[in-house]
Amino acid sequence: MKILHTSDWHLGRTLYGRKRYDEFSQFLNWLSETIEQRQIELLLVAGDVFDTSTPSNRAQQLYYQFLCKVSASSCRHIVIIAGNHDSPSFLDAPKELLKSLNVYVVGTITDSLQDEVLMINNEHGQAQLIVCAVPYLREKDIRKVEPGETLDDKAHKLIAGVQQHYAQVCALAEQKQAEILSQTQSSVPIIALGHLFTAGGKTLDGDGVRELYIGSLAYVGQEMFPDCIDYLALGHLHIPQQVADKDYFRYSGSPIAMSFAEAQQSKQLIQVEFVHNKSTIETIVVPCFQSLHRISGDLDALYRQVEKLKQDDSHAWLEIEYTGDEIVTQLWDLMAQMVEHSTIEILRIKNKQAVILTPVKEEETLDDLDENDVFERCLQAFDVAEDEQQELKASYNEILRSLDEEDSNAQ
């Protein structure tokens, strides 16, 4: 059976205010063609389908058009779980209708763990695969808040909650596996999905990937997952990677660059094929649908780099960093003149020289800071002692996380 693992589409995401629907559309068209060319039978989407819990009409249109197109192809089954960016109730709303297309959506955990254990059958109704479709596990789902808890107490409870949930779901999968073996004398593989941060996972500055729980104390180790899993399809981290030394525990990564930090990163999907319960893993390189470039230097260096891009007839989006010693006024106007009469578009300019020569707070914009940067500044402004900062940061992160997890579509 041929399986394709992808995640972190973030449909609807913008880049410094620039809409990216054309890019998402090109990716989904390419993905549907790849599925058909490779005769993929099962597509796994490991969370963060959308970038926000209230996706735009255009983002929804891209999503549903893709599902309809792929369900009519060689791909007989699609399994989608929610990520931390998704609204569980929004994804779950059409799940009964989507089942008619053999699209299975798991937005959140329910009272019945059976809802997360899916049987994948071939065209003759014979079992081919068991999928443990575990969605993003929100804190309220896996731990109870108790008064007087320390940071370590919370972290240990989160780890225990994640481990227990996977153990229970996989135990049900093993029961089904045993039943199939007794009935047909053949064993079927078990695949698990997840949307979480594993210990040792690689990220990039500016990629938008957030710590999902309390912090590094709650990173999930490979030992948390049951041994019965034959392939673990993970989402959340945008860099394609395997988990520790487990070749069959994989992050597919985001299929398009979500920020300039990912501009030079090779994007990929993962194809897994099971033949007689033995798996082979192949990576598929995703084409670049919109070139992103970071350039830096003084005016002469910037001019040379822009000219090179123009000679190459580049359609790149640029992030420019001016690092020269000369004071340059109206930098935006100068750079705009450089790219005039070309297909290059400037999305952001950082003037390092200006930041050095003037007070930081006067020159910085909100584009230069995130919510954690602002909180760090507050701690410094109020001279908070180092030994007090850890608990304050943990509490602050819990507030941010609760805001992220609030499902605006839930009733």
The reported pLDDT for the residue numbered 393 is: 78
The reported pLDDT for the residue numbered 32 is: 98
State how far the alpha carbon of 264 is from the alpha carbons of 9, 202, 259, in Å: 18, 15, 10
Q: How confident is the model at residue 359 (pLDDT cuts 50, 70, 90)?
A: very low
Helical segments of 105-150, H only: 139-142
pLDDT in tens, 189-198: 999 999 998 8
State how far the alpha carbon of 284 is from the alpha carbons of 6, 241, 268, in Å: 10, 13, 5
Q: How confident is the model at residue 260 (pLDDT cuts 50, 70, 90)?
A: very high
Which CATH number, 3.40.50.300, 3.20.20.100, 3.60.21.10, 3.20.20.370, labels domain 2-285?
3.60.21.10
- Among 105-114, 185-194, 206-215, 365-374, where is mean pLDDT lowest? 206-215
Q: Give buried/exposed letters for 80-109 (b at 16+ CB in 10 A, else e).
A: bbbbbbbbbbbbbeeeeebeeebbbbbbbb
Residue ranges covered by each domain of the chain: 2-285, 292-405
Q: What is the dihedral of CA 282, 283, 287, 288, to 10 degrees?
A: 180
pLDDT in tens, 31-42: 999 999 999 999
pLDDT in tens, 81-118: 999 999 999 999 999 999 999 999 999 999 899 999 99
Beta-strand pair 292-297/246-251:
unpaired
Helix (H, G, I), strand (E, B) or coil at 103: strand
- Classified by CATH at the fold level, domain 292-405 comes out as Double Stranded RNA Binding Domain (3.30.160)
Q: How confident is the model at residue 217 (pLDDT cuts 50, 70, 90)?
A: very low
Average pLDDT over all residues of the chain? 87
Average pLDDT (46-64) is 96
Checking if the pLDDT of 406 tops 60, the result is: yes
CB 262 within 8 A of CB 205: no
Structure token pair of residue 230: 């034959």
pLDDT in tens, 115-134: 999 999 988 889 999 999 99
Considering only residues 274 and 244, tell me which one the structure prediction assigns the higher pLDDT. Answer: 274
Checking if the pLDDT of 210 tops 60, the result is: no
The reported pLDDT for the residue numbered 355 is: 46
Distance CA 167, CA 170 (A): 5
Checking if the pLDDT of 308 tops 90, the result is: yes
The reported pLDDT for the residue numbered 328 is: 80
Other residues' Cβ atoms within 10 Å of the Cβ of residue 189: 21
Q: How confident is the model at residue 278 (pLDDT cuts 50, 70, 90)?
A: confident
The reported pLDDT for the residue numbered 358 is: 39
Q: What residues contact residue 140 under an 8 Å CB cut-off, 6+ apart?
A: 405
Average pLDDT (4-11) is 98
pLDDT in tens, 157-190: 888 899 999 999 999 999 999 999 999 988 899 9
Q: In what order do the strands lie in the sheet with 190-195?
A: 117-121, 127-133, 190-195, 231-235, 246-251, 241-243
Quick one: DSSP state of residue 220? B
